[in-house]
Structure 1
């Protein structure tokens, strides 16, 4: 659906706005009221449009930015563009989608991961940890897993919320994916007790690392041949 203007798209997004959805999202730090299923349907109809994506991102509106991340071509962003976008992301959902849907698919992902891990802004650093989770799970070669556990052990308990969440995810992923480091990951989680009391809906797995690790390993073992 090429040729669509930003004005036309933002008008569609405005028509999708739901006050109830916005109230729920605002409790999690997000500032949009668009149903994400409807947003994805709109993105599918629009197709990939890099120029439109850049223009939607430039509006600064969270719903428009989420749509931009769905219709963009991740490999066409420069390293500096992605860095600037992360620093301007503002809300958790926009940051999560930017990292998960765009940066991970970029040829600049590893360079940005290393840069963001040492950034003084804890929100930017949290994006570096999110990219590290992906490396731990899919491309662990070359990672210093004991060193990552050292940093998590020393800093996670006092880290700001988003950084703490990302570090905790990395701790859990190390324990899930790497049996040789599982006992230490469990021990760190048990001693630090980060997210131990986090309210978890019925049927969902707790983000408390010892529970998370144990449950995911159990599922993997049950699904293994001969289990």
Structure 2
């Protein structure tokens, strides 16, 4: 905690909300690269991570996400931490720095997608997006189930849910197997044709991202064959 206070910057703390939309009243204002530098020598310190999280202090919780041992993280801990999410940065960092490395991750995607609170539901799709980017190989089935959850949640117009759903759809469609990429494009096309405004936005935005990827790939192939 002393190390975090020593790295605090008031202008950065003020910018967190104004520039990045992070609502964190307890934040000291420590830049992420400094959070990571403090966390680096403390990796796999489960008890310390729990103690830091329990402070309720934003920067300490960010360190906790970086240092916890995913092998020791229980489903109960994941639920307890998720229940306290009150900003997108803590939610997303917990998901892509820690939770996606646990064997409980896909189960929590299913459970949390049924939640009603904004950050709890975002956590489901932030976790799915993280799994799509970080899991190497494996079966397609959990991600196919994830696509069904995405489609079911695509009409939720709350900002952080909407953006989480969109992130997950794009991640599956850009980072997984050819079959999953095709399935994600089918979901995006259905959403783009929806009568619901939020679903339409999700589908069209994902289709634009996929088209951009396809164009880059075609240009790269053309260059290599020239």
Distance 2:113 2:37 in 1: 34
Aligned length in residues: 207
Match of 1:208 in 2: 205
| Contact 1:53–1:69 (CA under 8 A) maintained in structure 2 | yes
Question: Please, what is the CA RMSD of the aligned residues?
Answer: 2.9
Match of 1:7 in 2: none
1:17 aligns with 2:25: no
**Unaligned regions of 5+ residues in structure 1, if any?**
1-9, 197-206
Distance 1:215 1:34 in 2: 35
Alignment CA distance shift 1:154-1:113 (3 Å): closer
**Unaligned regions of 5+ residues in structure 2, if any?**
none
Q: Give the alignment partner of residue 81 of structure 1, picking from 64, 74, 77.
A: 77
1:164 aligns with 2:171: no
Residues 1-43 of structure 1: per-residue CA shift (max 9 Å, x gap)? xxxxxxxxx1111111111111121231242310111111111
Distance 2:99 2:171 in 1: 19
Distance 1:149 1:72 in 2: 29
| Contact 1:136–1:143 (CA under 8 A) maintained in structure 2 | no
| Contact 2:30–2:59 (CA under 8 A) maintained in structure 1 | yes
Distance 1:118 1:105 in 2: 22
Match of 1:60 in 2: 56
| Contact 1:66–1:97 (CA under 8 A) maintained in structure 2 | yes
Cα offset, 1:189, TM superposition: 3.7
Cα offset, 1:110, TM superposition: 2.1
1:180 aligns with 2:182: yes
1:100 aligns with 2:96: yes
TM-score, normalised relative to structure 2: 0.77
Secondary structure of 2:98's counterpart equals helix
